[in-house]
Amino acid sequence: MTSTRPDARAPVGAVGLVLGGLLCQEIGASFAVLLFPAVGPLGMVALRLTFSALVLLLICRPRVRGYSRSDWITVASFGLVLAGMNVLFYEALARLPLGPTVTIEVLGPLLLSVIVSRRAVSWLWALLAFAGVVLLSQGGVEALDPVGVLFAAGTGVFWAGYILMSARTGARFPKFDGLAIAMTIGACATLPFGILSAGSALFTPTALLLGLAVAVLSSAIPYALELLALRRLPASTFSILMSLAPAMAAIVGAIVLGQSLTLLSGLAIALVVVASAGAVRSAALHARKQAGMAEPLA
């Protein structure tokens, strides 16, 4: 029987995986903004997913035989969720700063935790988060583009789906096979739209090199790290860590893109982070209490 000591340390390493993935993802997103004038959001999505798929296919060489119809439906759904999440995110990022975009989209995982919890106190956390988003629009950032806000909110819905489908895919496919297959499906779904949108600009050396860099930073590394983390962490703990994304995005946006935020905007982002983490933790503690578990939350 395997020793329990490595398992006890696994959550600590998994936390590092999630935080490292968040940092890479926001740096990659900031680099993607620099490519928007040349290839546009759809072209950027096509480059990101296509290069991510190629990298993962070369590294993983996934097995495609021996899976059930249910397995393929799961991984295909994961791929389409990846595609939809990326398209909406970049369309939002083309209209909003990085910090506010991620702040709005994190409401998706927050809503997921509230629904899972089914407790009145969780809705209070949700109200706090929505108050933060309202405050964000008054926080010194230029008037938020309503279309961009809708895209960011849609990204949040797909982000909640990503959390669910990533865990299910990781449980059905070994190593990174499921991620590689899902990323390939997402790339195939978005590449035609990227070509139609960007045209020949998509194939210039500069666009291809930057697209590869964005793919590695924004997709290949973060998704692989998160998939590993979801095998070691409960979905609730994973969601708590993901609630730090708005703060990470605001910091990276300020450093890389010069997207400064006022004190009021920082407070708004902090409200969303606290509300998201609080809602997920409250749900997790309630679940453990219901199950009669005495161990502290990982």
Q: What per-residue confidence (pLDDT) applies to 156?
A: 87
Mean pLDDT for 270-297 is 64
N-to-C CA span, the chain: 23
Q: What per-residue confidence (pLDDT) applies to 7?
A: 44
Average pLDDT, the chain: 81
For 137-157, b where at least 16 C-beta lie within 10 A, e where not — what string?
eebebeebeeebbebbbbbbb
- Residue 276: closest CA among 132, 155, 150: 132
Distance of CA 77 to the CA centre of its chain: 16
Q: What per-residue confidence (pLDDT) applies to 47?
A: 94
Which has more pLDDT, 142 or 103?
103
Residue 81 has pLDDT above 50, yes or no: yes
Q: Out of 125-129, 161-165, 209-213, 290-294, pick the least confident.
A: 290-294
Residue 292 has pLDDT above 80, yes or no: no
Which has more pLDDT, 294 or 205?
205
Residue owning tokens 């929505």: 130
CA distance 292 to 286: 10
253-280, pLDDT tens digit by residue? 888 888 777 777 778 788 877 877 776 6
Which has more pLDDT, 75 or 114?
75
Q: What per-residue confidence (pLDDT) applies to 179?
A: 87
Going by pLDDT thresholds of 50, 70 and 90, the confidence category of residue 185 is very high
Beta-carbon count within 10 A of 265 CB: 22
Going by pLDDT thresholds of 50, 70 and 90, the confidence category of residue 139 is low
Query: For the chain, what are the domain ranges?
Result: 15-291
Residue 79 has pLDDT above 90, yes or no: yes
Residue 1 has pLDDT above 50, yes or no: no
Q: Out of 31-40, 79-88, 90-99, 159-168, pick the least confident.
A: 159-168
Q: What per-residue confidence (pLDDT) applies to 60?
A: 86
Mean pLDDT for 26-53 is 92
Residue 197 has pLDDT above 80, yes or no: yes
Tokens of 31: 């680099």
Asked whether 223 and 283 are in contact (CB, 8 A), the reply is no
> SS3 sequence, 18-72?
HHHHHHHHHHHHHHHHHHHHHHHHHHHHHHHHHHHHHHHHHHHCCCCCCCCHHHH
Percentage of the chain beyond pLDDT 90 is 28
Residue 67 has pLDDT above 70, yes or no: yes
Q: Is 239 exposed, middle or buried (0-12, 13-18, 19+ CB in 10 A)?
A: buried
Residue 87 has pLDDT above 70, yes or no: yes
Which has more pLDDT, 42 or 116?
42
